[in-house]
Structure 1
Amino acid sequence: MLIALAAGVFAVASIALAVVDVRTHRLPDAVVLPALLVVAALLTAEALRTGEPGRALGVVGGSAAAFVVALALHLSRPGAFGGGDVKLAAFVGAPLGWYGPEAVASGLLFAVVLGGVAATGVLLAGGRRTQLAYGPWLLSGAWLRLVGGPGEGMPSG
């Protein structure tokens, strides 16, 4: 039950954040941070409830690892990868971490590929000065891994 609730919170926040980022190029802390805390808490509680403390560590570790990778990108290219994207990476790392390091890595890789394809399309269309919101691609990469990636996907209950 808790994992389904976590998936629901992740889904609602994902949609809201993608829409806001496309429209404003901002990822509001007022949505990202509470959603991260709720999803991480629900997944951690589910892991402890089911006697799988390794999954709880995966949730925290996945969130931290995604945050660190995103922070490194932000520090190397602050104009291309914003601070909101760093916090969003921590958010997507939590449910990916439920499935382990491979899920975190592949979810982030899917995001890079999707964002790269989108950026290539913008460039080919002549939009050299167009700014592309990265949040939707980060969320899409996570969802691609969660529902369709190799191995386990997001459980239904």
Structure 2
Amino acid sequence: MPLMLMISAAVYGGAAGLLVPRPAYRLAVEPGEAWRADCPGGHPVTGPARGWLGPGRCRACGPYGPRAVVTALVSAVACAVLAAATGARPELAVWLAVVPVAVLLAVVDWRVRRLPDVLTLPLAAGAVLLLGLAAPSARAAGSWGGAVLGGLALGGFYYVLYRINPEGMGLGDVKLAFGLGVPLGWYGWAILITGAFAGLLLGSLYGCGLLLRRSVRAEGRNDGLKQAMPYGPFMIIGVFLGVLLGAAAAP
């Protein structure tokens, strides 16, 4: 049963990951710019859901945006590992629903240092709603109240960080934190703290490496050290690790 569950989750994750490149390309724009409606060659983006789902490919120009094989592989592996750790519990359906959205957010943030509200806000609301549906089941291994409090706590924590250093963190990170705190809070405060710390640690390590590399390249100039770094992918990885730990430790 666990093996079949993992295989099924991996197939789902791979299929969902194939739908990520097109929205990732369309959403990866600078703040204030409209979502992309054309491919890099200027042809209108078409496909399922009015051109919002599917691999980034134009009949005239060929592929564009992130590589579908990469997003499919990442999503498939993440879903399979979550299935192995969670088992046939109702919250697994929520984790599987969140994975492709998290992959999409990570890709967009990595490309343009932006976390669109059109993704972060529905992620938070959807996670709360879906876990609310899963909570009454006798097989559920978490707490819906803890999930709600976890989202509020992590969002509030990141808001404090934003107020302390608004140049180093954006409001998009704060809004993402509300959604990411929900699955962590589902498994309790210890997992919430662990997942949040893991994301901050990974982001800090990457930031330190980035500063060292840029300082060497700058050779006395400080203009190369003011570029923003994406926190979203590291926050998402931290939550992924936290949920794995919480799911594996759940009775």
Same fold (TM over 0.5): yes
User: What CA distance in whole angstroms lies between the structure 2 residues aligned with 1:91 and 1:154?
Assistant: 22
Higher helix share: 1
Using the TM superposition, give the Cα deviation of residue 51 of structure 1 relative to its aligned residue in structure 2, in angstroms. Answer: 8.5
Q: Is the 8 A contact 2:90 2:137 kept in 1?
A: no
Q: Unpaired segments of 5 or more residues in structure 1?
A: none
Equivalent residue number for residue 112 of structure 1: 200
Q: TM-score if structure 2 supplies the norm length?
A: 0.57
Change (3 A) 1:8 1:152: closer
* Higher Rg: 2
Matches within 5 A, 1:66-145: 66-126=154-214, 128-145=225-242
Identity %: 32
Deviations 1:18-55 (A, max 9, x none): 00111111111111111211111111221123387x70
| Alignment root-mean-square deviation, CA | 2.2
Q: Please give the residue correspondences for 1:37-76 in structure 2 after superposition, counting only pairs within 5 Å.
A: 37-50=125-138, 55-76=143-164
Q: Matched residues in 2 for 1:113 and 1:68: separation? A: 18
Q: Give the whole-Å Cα distance in 2 for the aligned partners of 1:111 and 1:51.
A: 29
CA distance, structure 2, for counterparts of residue 2 and residue 29 of structure 1:
27
Deviation string for 1:59-95 (max 9, x for gaps)?
A: 1000010011011111111111110000100111000
Q: Runs of at least 4 residues of structure 1 off by over 4 A?
A: none
**3-state SS of the aligned residue for 2:167?**
coil
Amino acid across the alignment from 2:240 = W
What's the TM-score, normalizing by structure 1? Answer: 0.88
Shift of 1:3: 1.7
Contact (CA 8 Å) 2:108, 2:115: kept in 1 or not?
Answer: yes
- CA distance in 2 between counterparts of 1:106 and 1:14 reads 19
Alignment coverage as a number of residue pairs: 153
State how far apart, in whole Å, the 1-side matches of 2:227 and 2:167 are: 13
Q: Secondary structure at the match of 2:97?
A: helix
